[in-house]
Amino acid sequence: MGIDPGSASDIPMLIALIILFIGLYFRGLILWISLALALLYLYIFDRESIVTLVIYGFTASLLIAGYLRIKKGLKLTESRVNKDEFDLVLDANNLIGTANWDLDIFVNFINELEQDGFKTHLFFDHSIIRLLREQNLILDGETVPMTICRVLNRSRHNVTVSKKATRRMGY
């Protein structure tokens, strides 16, 4: 009933890990002191375990740092907050299609979303030009994005129209 010789060889590593975890708990200067003590202890008693201690220590420090950041929570600074973020980015061609290609229904829907506090950004395929031509909405010298902005009473920064040559990717 004695100590197993195989497990007795792990005792220096366990002592070094305990010293290291004490330093990780208190952080700062105590961390560096405990790291130096743990490395010195292993250097004297078990040189082969130094690499293992470094790996364990690095892993533990990452886990503890991650835990502390999750516990503290992520708070965005004023400079990192993007004021132009949109709550909803919509595929406008599909929405107009579900509104039976009636722009008035579509405009009412978008306006209701914005009245409810959502910021929207609309994406159109260039094929929207067909609907605009059928309803005689394009004025002379006007581009498709200009027409959409005028008809829908939208800012140019809230509308994106794909280029003519782009085709849908079939998945």
Q: Could you tell me which of 59, 58, 53 has the C-alpha nearest to residue 38?
A: 53
Q: 88 with 121: CB under 8 angstroms?
A: yes
pLDDT above 50: residue 171 = no
Q: Could you tell me which of 168, 40, 151 has the C-alpha nearest to residue 104?
A: 151
* Residue % of the chain over a pLDDT of 70: 84
* Integer Cα distance of 28 and 53 in angstroms: 19
Q: Mean pLDDT in the chain? A: 82
- pLDDT recorded at residue 37: 92
Looking at the whole model, is its pTM more than 0.85? Answer: no
pLDDT above 60: residue 169 = no
- DSSP β-ladder status, 88-91 and 120-124: parallel
Helices (H), the chain: 5-8, 11-26, 29-45, 50-72, 92-98, 103-115, 128-134, 144-152
- pLDDT recorded at residue 15: 92
98-120 residue pLDDT tens: 888 888 888 898 889 889 888 88
Q: 91: which strand partners?
A: 123
CA angle 105, 167, 113 (to 5 degrees): 25
Q: 150 with 135: CB under 8 angstroms?
A: no
Q: 137: which strand partners?
A: none
**19: CB partners within 8 A, 6+ apart:** 34, 37, 38, 41
